[in-house]
Structure 1
Amino acid sequence: MGRKRRWGGSVFGHKIYKRDRAAAECLLMLKYFDEESIFEDDQFRRRYRMRKPLFLHIIDELTTEEYLRSPRQHEIEEMMRSNAARGFPGMIGSIDCMHWEWANCPSGWHGVYKGHKGNPTMILEAVASEDLRIWHAFFGLPGSHNDINVLNRSPVFDDLANGNALEVEFTVNGNIYSMGYYLADGIYPD
């Protein structure tokens, strides 16, 4: 028989480094994004390849124009009807994580952002409906994360965890369920 896999890293045999990612995120916010940030706009532009006001304008437009708003109750019901007709009762969307290569990644960050193919990448987590409407996106985590790590940091399940999830009900094999699910590919431990 084969050897039992030793858990601890996403790739067998890779060395495991304990990193304080939460502290690193706090430091990043303090340096560049807080009202009283340490670095000035010219340093922001050099690091992120755009002016800080442009970056903040993009964020403002995305949030105020509801480009990525959560679906409303009637939209969830329509998605569930459509998915049930396709053989997926209770499915409210398809979720996946994709690696986007970061060609201009600062050399000091290469180790953290190194993806599974060796190049620096950022991860995009997205939820889409059958009509390819993307209604959730979470972008920017380092490529060194696997899908489970992304889900642990993502706000996609915040409403559920806070008791604010939309009401759904469906039946499978005579069992009644009150929470919808996302169809996922490969987001499970071996």
Structure 2
Amino acid sequence: MTTTFICNARREPFPHATSRSPLPSDLCGALLDWFEGDAPWKLRIASFYEQWEMHLDAAALPPHVQSIVSDEVATNLCSGLLLPIGARLPRLTEVTAHKLLPGQTIRIHNDHLDDGETHRILVQLNRGWSDKQGGLLMLFGSATATDVRRIVRPLHGSSFAFEISPRSFHAVSTIASGERYTLVYSFKDVGQA
């Protein structure tokens, strides 16, 4: 299931990379069908966000989408998206899925915890998403809301990878309409000094 894709890596405002189609389109479609159907979402409310979530474990997934959490998929994503931004030996710690509904937002944060994960890869699964629906991923140069440095659209099948650090400030604008789905692969770089 190795997929060849082109990665666009950048260093500012923090190390990150984007790609248009890191996963097979048929797998993305099957997963999105399940997300929109009977997937077991749970509401989570935290200090800077409210979203629907679920942990993805192969044993609990429908057989036709279990490969989404396979070592082969994780290795392919690492090679194509994390190594170009400086990861050395990233190891997958977990895979989750997020769903945002109208009115939900994710405020500015950096995901950084001492001894926590070091990298994330987000894969968007959204049918025909448009800017007027909101849900734009915003990258910041600081924790200040006016310091937006880049906006990344949540286009279906696209990905965004980033290094987690005290300066990896990002947010997701409020959803105006539709349901925004994201696969979240979390890694710890065991090769870091």
TM over 0.5: no
Name whichever structure is richer in strand by fraction. 2
Q: Which has the higher contact order (CA 8 A, sep 6+)?
A: 2
TM-score, scaled relative to structure 1: 0.27
Name whichever structure is richer in helix by fraction. 1
Structure whose alpha-carbon radius of gyration is higher: 1
